[in-house]
Each structure stands twice: as structure tokens, then as C-alpha cells.
Amino acid sequence: MSHSINSHLSQFAEALFQARTHKTPIVQFTQTMPDFSIEDAYAVQRISLEADVGRGKKVAGYKMGLTSKAKQRDVNVFAPIAGYLTTDLEIALGDPLETASRIHPRVEPEIAVVIKRSIAGAKRIADLPHCLEFIGPAIEVLDSRYKDFTFRLPDVIADNTSASGFIMGSTNYLNRLDDLALLGVALKSNGEILETGAPAAVLGNPLISLLKLIQFLEKQNLLLEAGQVVLTGAITASIPVKPGDWIEMIMPNSVMRFSVV
Ligand code: OOG
Ligand code: MG
């Protein structure tokens, strides 16, 4: 990390915070600073997390992103990324999604987990199920703080992977982990199916995404703890939403519906 960039990291976190607060998108950092690195970007994300905690927010868990080819193609960035979730980002199932507090929101279907007991040293999928309380459908709300919802890899990492909200479903697939990867997902907008997929799109199995997150956190001496939520990454491309839309995510034994206002 060069010195000149290092001194900019707090300013970058502040610029992203201002963009989020005032709903004014900013120019991608990589446009003006081509050597802005992935390491710098995670440092900006870390500064934002600490600032959010300083503002009284609480960490709800973490998210993986760009874990499916569909998503990677969607935003033209081809590597998995991780971000954090705060409790205020959760939207209750059935509540309307507000656009007024966002710049250019999109939604995407995911598999989420809730942790039952701390997971340390997990190496294989088989190490995970007994540590989970829930695994099931969730919808993530994204809102890039960059102009035109475009970015390169370090930009989107710095912007906490576009995190803007999440809605947890209630159907628990813990007792059908064997076929979870191949359970169908459909995303509808105003009654029309816009995206379909299966959780296998996420690195072959969303639990592989969870393993990647655990390993990423372990490098920072962090553990997933009981009650924390993890979004494993979108199964399909995201869809833009606007006031008046009616969104549905359908999976076996699960329909999640909300309106956009
Ligand atoms: C980046 C965040 C990606 C996912 O699930 O793939 C993400 C973006 O698309 O803005 O959350
Ligand atoms: Mg996502």
C-alpha cells in the first residue's frame, strides 16, 4: 500500500458514507487512482465498518458476493468478494422496500444462513450443518454508491459490496441439505418471471461460499458467531426496482413477496 493511497483510505470511506447518506453517486475510485488495490479496498471497508459501529450500528453478519457466474457477468467483475451486514439493513418479510433512501436499488435472490454456534476451523461442507440454525431463501437489496452502478473489483469491495438491505425468508432447508443446491428459484417482477436459477449456481453449493467466508474471516482472527446472518451470494443476476413494482421470490415451500414504494 503506497503512502499516498494510505492517507486517502479514510477519505474514501467518508466519500462513500456521504454518497449513501445524500443519495449522490460518486466517481469510481479506480478512475482517478488506478493503483487502488484490493487490499486498500478491504481497508476502506474496515474503516466504514468501524465508523458504522461508532454511529451505533450493530453487525448482523456478513455477505459474500459475485459467487455465481450470473452475477459476475451482471456487473462484469469476475471474483468473489465479502462485505458486512448491520442489523438496521434488515427489512421484515412483507414490508415494502423503500427507494427514497436509495440511489438505484436492485434486488437479487440468495441463500442465507443463520449461525447456531461459532464456527471455527471448518474445512469441508460436512463441518457446517451442525453449526447452522437456518438455511433458506433471502433477498438482498443492493445499491451501488457509484455512478451508473458500475465499478471495478476494488471499488465494489470498498463500497461494502453494494450492501443496502436484506430480507430473510422463513422456510428452513436444513433437513434437505442433500438437494438444496438443486432447488429451483424464480424471481418475479410484476407477475413476470425475470430470472430463474438454482443455488448450485453459487460455487456449486452455497455452503462452499460459507466456507470461503469462514476462511476469509479467520485470516482476520474473526469467527462467525451464534445468531449472525450470512448471505452466500446471488443465484441469478439482480433486477432493478422502482416504486410501484411488486416483487416475488419463489422456492419450494416458500414465496417471499413485497412491494416497492
Ligand atoms: C456487487 C454485490 C454482489 C452478490 O450477491 O453477488 C452481491 C453488486 O452486484 O453490486 O451481493
Ligand atoms: Mg448479494
Q: Cell numbers at residue 164, please? A: 443496502
Q: Give the integer Cα–Cα distance in Å for 165 and 14.
A: 20
144 CB near ligand 1 (under 6 Å): yes
2 alpha carbon – ligand 1 mean position (Å): 28
pLDDT at 7: 72
pLDDT at 4: 63
Residues with CB under 5 A from ligand 2 (ion): 65, 140, 234
pLDDT at 175: 96
Report how far apart, in Å, the C-alpha atoms of 251 and of each of 76, 164, 173 are: 27, 23, 11
| pLDDT mean for each 10 residues of the chain (261 residues) | 70 98 98 96 98 98 98 97 98 97 98 96 95 98 98 98 98 97 98 98 98 96 97 98 98 98 98
- Closest C-alpha residue for ligand 1 atom 11: 65
pLDDT at 205: 98
Residue 111, Cβ density class (10 Å: 0-12 exposed, 13-18 middle, ≥19 buried): buried
- Closest C-alpha residue for ligand 1 atom 3: 65
Q: Which atom belonging to ligand 1 lies closest to the Cα atom of 231?
A: 5
Q: Which atom belonging to ligand 1 lies closest to the Cα atom of 63?
A: 11
- Closest C-alpha residue for ligand 1 atom 1: 161
